[in-house]
Every structure is written in C-alpha cells, then in structure tokens.
Structure 1
C-alpha cells in the first residue's frame, strides 16, 4: 500500500538535529504514532525532542525505516546497544526485525543480553536460539542470568534428512520411507518419523517454516503425475497433516519458508518448465500467485540471508544470475551475475552477508565441487580455494547452522566451519544409511527417547 504524502518534522536527539518524515515515523513507530495522534499540543509540533536516546541509535533507526541496510554485523558494541534501545523506546518492529537478521556469532551474546534488558522479546528469542545452536562459549559470554537460563531451556536444531520416495500402497511395508536425524553424540542416524503413505519426496519441494516441515509437489509414476495434497510434519506432536496444494500443479519446484509464508518457486508440469510462483499463508490455508520469475526454471536453488530471499537462475552462455524477491513490491530484483561453465548439480546456501553457489567442477569432473561466493555488501564474487570432494552429491545438500555447514551422502556427513569466507573441514560423522537423492533441513526436536538407529539399505 503506498504511503501518504511526506510531512517534514525535525527531531532533536542528544543535541543533534534530524530531518525526518512524520508519515514514515507514524507508520513505523508506535511511539510516534501515539505522539502525533494523541490530540495533545505536541501532536501539532513540527519539532520533537527526544532526550532519552542517543543520536547514533536514532540515525540507525532512521536508515532502517527508510529501507536502508546499515552494516550492524560489524558494528561496535555501543552502536548495537543504541540500536536495541531505539527499537524498544520507539516501538519500531522494522528495526527489531533488522536486529534479528543481523545476528552473528560475534554479536549474538551482546544482543541477547541487551534485548533481555530492554524487553525486545523477538530479538531476545532469536538471539537465544542462535546461541543455543552455536558453540558453548557463546552462552558462556552472556551476562544476564535470565538470558543464560532461557538459552539452556531451548532445544537445539538438529540435522534431518529424507531420501527419495514415492507413494506406497498400504499393504506394502517400506521401512525406508522415513525421515532420519543425525544423533551427533552417538554418531548415528536415527529414525524420526515415517512418511505418510500418499506422500512423495520425488521431485518435491521441501522446506521448513516455524519449525514445521512442508512437502509440496512430489510425483509418482513414469508420467510424473503430481501428488495432489501437500504434507506438513509437526515435530512437537510427531504428527502429519495434509494441506492444500498450489493452484498450479507443479513438481521439481523450489519451496522456501520465508517471512511467515511458503513460496513455491517455478517448477515443471507436463514436462514444461514454469516461471509462476505461488505463496502459501499457513494462517489462512490459502495459496495466491505472486510475481513470476524472470524466466521458466526448475529445481531453483534458493537461500536466505539477512532476512532476504534469493534464488539462483541459469541463463544461456553459461551465466549464473542471482535474483532477490522483494515481497513489499512483489517483484524479482537482479542482484549479480557470474559467468561459469554449467554442469550437473548445484545448490546455494547463505552465511552472514554471503551467498555460496555450489556446482560440479571444474569442467565435467563430477567428483569435485566448485564453490563461488557472492558478497552481498560489496557485490563481488570470489572462488573458494581448493576443490571439495563431491562423492555422490554431498555438498548439494548443504545446510548452514550458525557458522557451520552440514553436508551428507551415504559415505559420510561432512561438517565444515566457515572462517573468513572459506570452508574448513571440521569433523566427519556417519553417512546417511539409505540410497537415493537427499533433501536436508534443520528441525528443533522435542526431548524424549531417541528413535531407533536407521538400518543401512542396499543401493537400488
């Protein structure tokens, strides 16, 4: 919805004068909304004085409210504290969300303590989850007893995988039709839950949203008949439910859980690639069409960084194009392009301000992976030094948790640490004991007895 006309207002903060748009402040901040709509004399004033805030924090707040993305990840401690104080005092949800998306292992403990002190519950919760998933020293750095206790009460995210399955008749038992999770303490994959008999993970979109797993658009049969319903798994109750499928039947679609909604991006139907994109609102249970991709595409790699959704498209003449979906304007925006030889297999993951595009290479060497890194702040591409052993697609199932990348194949689960833009092999765990292509993701599993160890099955 377009904003109303700009109404200039002067704001004095800590002896510094800021020129601002009153309409923007009223729309984005509960404090100014209450001030300018109160009917009091101050509501008609063209000058506002805020003695309780810092000029630096208010400057950051204005930049965020105007749609800018200041670099908070590397900001000094004082700047972060001032931004938290402003978000709380001004009652500015946009600034609070920006703080959540700026969490890193360098600032999460500080932001967690500050959010606890100023009552920013969403920032506090997000920072606590980040710390729970990270190294133990992150929790040790917390100053607030409340924060320490809250972090300890949370469940860490767990690495989960499901291999390729098609619907199974009820009279046939298939022990392999399960999701499994990695028990890192015991170095074993354990069974989490059986798939519904009607569900298919073959060419399906798989994504998580609000700690639930969603499966959309799998197929069955040589004719690639699309499985009609979608399936949602809730780990808290260990239950599955069906939900509506997209308006346009599609398979080999990319599914992304982003900003409280699911996005089914591109895909194929009756062997024709599509550019259409649909959005699912779990609150209403309804799908709606949003802006099309710039081109038809299947199996689109997608990733989220700093609260932004990105996809990677292949174009003729060996061009890799990164696009961003701007939900506010419902449009796809070009971000960057890279000329690289295309080859079999690809994915994209995000860490901090960087997107990592993974593909086979060099040339037709399918036993290695090449990784190109796009820095979103500078727009510059770099190639990671060295080649990573692929071994049947390990890196094409990459998942990032904190500063760690999880990859898996039948031989091993490889865990990398991201340090200064490079991936360093940190440790090696058990491989996934089932054949077929894999889809991997993170879920926060409830406490309780672990499932049985997943038994190895032969290759088909």
Structure 2
C-alpha cells in the first residue's frame, strides 16, 4: 500500500493512494497525467475544507457518518471537486426532512446532478411541510421541484390466478387520491400474475412481482411481471432459478434481491439477485437459515433482513451487496413474539411484531438504531387492525398503514409514532401490498375518467 500525504488547509492527511485513485476521478486523472504531481507522495488541495476531506476519507473507508448541515456543505463541495461517486451516494442516502433543502441548494451550486435530483424528489414529496421555505429558493430551483411528480400511495390485494372469465376484485391495483380521499383504480394486474404469497417491490418507478402461489395447496406460480408506471404498461420477465412462494423481494440500485421463501411447503434459504440491465438472475450467499417471508427493509442505502429462532430471538442481518455476504448486526429476545414487518427511516429500523402471548390484535414496535447499535421499545401498544401495521411504508417522516377500515398515517417524531391523520380504507381485506409510485398526470386523468364513483372509484 502506497501512502499519500494530502494537505488541506492546515491539516495533513495520510491516506492510501490506491483508495483515492479507485474512487476519485480527480486523483485518477492526476496520477495518470504524467505531470510532476503524479510522482509526488505529498500534494496540497486548494479551495477545499479539511472537514470535507476528512468526511470523504471516512466514507471511502466504509464508514457512514451522519452529518450536520455545515458538514454537508463541505462534503458536497468535496464530492463535486474530487468527483467521488461513493460520497455522492452517501449524501443521497442521508437526505431527510431536516437537510433536504441544504442538500438541494448545495448540489445545485456545485453541480452534483444526482444529489440535486434526489433531493428535489424528496422535497416534492413533503412539499406542504416545507412550502414557506421552498418559496425562498431561487425561481429556477422552485420550478424544477414543481416539474416533478409527487409519489402516490398504491395498494393491491392478494390475488391468485383464476379462470380468465372469473372477475377477481383482488386483481385491482389502486392509488389513493389524498386530496379527494378516494381510492382510484389503476386497472388489473395480469391474469396469470399472483400477488398471493408473492415477492412484490418497487424500483425505478416500476412494480415487480415475483413468484407467489395459487390454490389451497400453494402451487407455485413460476412467472414474474413488471408494471411500468411511466408508461402504464405491464410486461413479463424471467423468474428466479429456484421457484418459490412467500419470497421477500427488495429493489436496490439496479437489482432485485429475492430472499428466502418456500417451495412445496419447505422453507428455503436461497438468495438470488436480478440485474435489470443484463436481465439475468444469479445466486447470492444464502440466508443463515431457511425462512419463508423474512421481513426486509432498506435504511441508509443498506439492505437488512430479519430472521428469528423460535421461540424468542429476532436477528437482524445486513446483506452486503458489494461483498455478497450476510452480516449479523444485532439480535433481541422477546418470548413468543416475532417480527412480521420491518421498515427503515433515517438510521433506524422499526420492527413490528405481534403482542404478548401471540396477540395479533395489538402490535409492539421495536427500534434498532444503526448508529448507536441500541434497541428501544416504542411506548405503548399499537392496534394492528387486521394487519395494518404489517403493511407499513414510509414517505418522508410519515408512515402509511392500511386496512379495510382506514388508512392511518403516523408521524415519526423523536423515536415515537404519533397518529396524525385518517383516510379511507381499502375495500380488499386480508394481505395487502403497499408502495409508492410516481404516477404521471396523464395516467391519473385517464384512469379517473374510466372509473368514476362518488365515494371510491374502484367500487
């Protein structure tokens, strides 16, 4: 390993030269230029802050530090000047309601287009909460935010393929018109698709459905489908090598990850990933134990999977996508209580579990903080209402939960979930899949004309 001494302001940093060349376009160009500096073991960087360079080195060495607004400004400057994609990705993963405007303006100033766009999308989703601050932005920045489509809450019930001429309401996929408090149909999923015990996730404004089952005997459905929200079209794509149902599907950075599942009533530990660009499935490192439907979530740009050992231990593993490895992060013991849903918010994982003595009408929420590595239990018990909290998804700082009776929104604030709003429920009871999509206005207008009702547009 060749050390390099880098002077920034009055601070000298000693770092791995190869690490900088690997991750920084600036240093790669510098040391391949043939100029005098390319053979030196000490260089000086001008017009950059020492704090920003320190953050850069921490990220390149695998850390994921939380940053103050001042630190964000220096980090953005370094990411732009040194052209460090890994640092830009880390900044994107840090976007939240407290720093999104700072990220947005800084990215605009230094020309970090990916960060600029992702921060704008985040702001668009919580526009009402930031409206006064948004109006203080330069006009061109306001116009860019206004040009974007906000994310929309979408749901579909558990559908198993049936005879073509039989109508099945569970095939209907709907979105919530929050302004009018109505569910509006987006049409039906393909007749041969299954959302019953299927893996369902979103990526790149598309819905992906993998596997699933049909009938009481749980016959596996070995077909996979994709809904493109931008074009309002369905298509079929290759299924994983191992057919299975009750598989957990996660979309992340151009890949679909399929975890666990069940085949012929036997849990499996297989992990496969699908590359959207090459359209190929490959096997990854298996889960530490077979598991059907393991809860999974993303937080801080990382994938986490929850497993449990009957009857008392819940274990959180990180799936390291770069190293293709399952890493045990933490575990917690709770007698006869299992995690059924997990969601990520900032550097927190929230695990929803059944109440004491297998009480599924009440829900206990555990919080694991990735930074402090500490577990806390949210105060009180949350009414589960037939699975509502087991279909939780988050937009900004707001949790959306859903059942037949109502859509209940919670605000995540200081480690608590506070109910803030109720909206209409979803007509289909039982297992639900919920997610967010950015639906073009033309699609919303089209489906609203096709499905009209004074109450719920898909009835």
Q: Deviations over 1:123-142 (max 9, x none)?
A: 01111111111142435424
Q: Distance in 2 between matches of 1:43 and 1:279?
A: 40
Q: Distance in 2 between matches of 1:287 and 1:397?
A: 27
Q: Deviations over 1:322-366 (max 9, x none)?
A: 000111111010111110133477100111111110012032322
Q: Distance in 2 between matches of 1:202 and 1:176?
A: 10
The alpha carbon displacement at 1:431 in A equals 0.4
How high is the TM-score relative to the length of structure 1? 0.95
Q: Any gaps of 5 or more consecutive residues in structure 2?
A: none
Q: Which residue of 2 aligns with 1:105?
A: 97
Question: Bigger shift: 357-366 or 255-264?
Answer: 357-366
Matches within 5 A, 1:348-363: 348-363=342-357
The alpha carbon displacement at 1:7 in A equals 1.2
Aligned in 2, Cα 1:212/1:456: closer, same or farther, shift over 3 Å? closer
Q: Which residue of 1 aligns with 2:240?
A: 246
**Runs of 4+, deviation exceeding 3 Å:** 173-176, 342-345, 453-457
Q: Which residue of 1 aligns with 2:56?
A: 61
Q: Deviations over 1:207-248 (max 9, x none)?
A: 001110000011112332222220000011110000000000
Q: Aligned to 1:422, which of 416, 421, 432?
A: 416
Q: Which residue of 2 aligns with 1:115?
A: 107
Q: Distance in 1 between matches of 2:118 and 2:221?
A: 35
Q: Aligned to 1:207, which of 194, 201, 205?
A: 201
Q: Which residue of 1 aligns with 2:324?
A: 330
Question: Bigger shift: 52-61 or 314-323?
Answer: 314-323
User: Residue 189 of structure 1 contacts residue 433 of structure 1 at CA under 8 Å; is this kept in 2?
Assistant: no
What CA RMSD, in Å, does the superposition of the two structures yield over aligned residues?
Answer: 1.4
Q: Which residue of 1 aligns with 2:128?
A: 136
Q: Which residue of 1 aligns with 2:14?
A: 19
| SS of residue in 2 equivalent to 1:363 | helix
- Equivalenced residues, count: 449
How high is the TM-score relative to the length of structure 2? 0.95
Answering whether residue 244 of structure 2 is matched by residue 225 of structure 1, we say no
Answering whether residue 263 of structure 2 is matched by residue 269 of structure 1, we say yes
The alpha carbon displacement at 1:146 in A equals 2.6
User: Residue 397 of structure 1 contacts residue 439 of structure 1 at CA under 8 Å; is this kept in 2?
Assistant: yes
User: Residue 336 of structure 2 contacts residue 358 of structure 2 at CA under 8 Å; is this kept in 1?
Assistant: no
The alpha carbon displacement at 1:170 in A equals 2.3
| SS of residue in 1 equivalent to 2:116 | helix
Q: Distance in 2 between matches of 1:229 and 1:259?
A: 23
Q: Which residue of 2 aligns with 1:299?
A: 293
User: Residue 343 of structure 2 contacts residue 350 of structure 2 at CA under 8 Å; is this kept in 1?
Assistant: yes
Q: Which residue of 1 aligns with 2:2?
A: 7
Q: Which residue of 2 aligns with 1:288?
A: 282
User: Residue 201 of structure 2 contacts residue 209 of structure 2 at CA under 8 Å; is this kept in 1?
Assistant: yes
| SS of residue in 2 equivalent to 1:367 | strand
The alpha carbon displacement at 1:29 in A equals 0.2
Answering whether residue 407 of structure 2 is matched by residue 390 of structure 1, we say no
User: Residue 348 of structure 1 contacts residue 356 of structure 1 at CA under 8 Å; is this kept in 2?
Assistant: yes
Q: Distance in 2 between matches of 1:172 and 1:221?
A: 15
Question: Bigger shift: 381-390 or 217-226?
Answer: 217-226
Q: Distance in 2 between matches of 1:168 and 1:212?
A: 24
Aligned in 2, Cα 1:137/1:223: closer, same or farther, shift over 3 Å? closer
User: Residue 255 of structure 1 contacts residue 262 of structure 1 at CA under 8 Å; is this kept in 2?
Assistant: yes
Q: Distance in 2 between matches of 1:227 and 1:174?
A: 17
Q: Distance in 1 between matches of 2:217 and 2:359?
A: 31
Q: Which residue of 2 aligns with 1:434?
A: 428
The alpha carbon displacement at 1:70 in A equals 1.5
The alpha carbon displacement at 1:32 in A equals 0.2
Q: Distance in 1 between matches of 2:401 and 2:271?
A: 28
Q: Deviations over 1:105-134 (max 9, x none)?
A: 110001100001110001011111111111
User: Residue 182 of structure 2 contacts residue 457 of structure 2 at CA under 8 Å; is this kept in 1?
Assistant: no
Q: Distance in 1 between matches of 2:217 and 2:336?
A: 27
User: Residue 109 of structure 1 contacts residue 139 of structure 1 at CA under 8 Å; is this kept in 2?
Assistant: no
The alpha carbon displacement at 1:386 in A equals 1.2
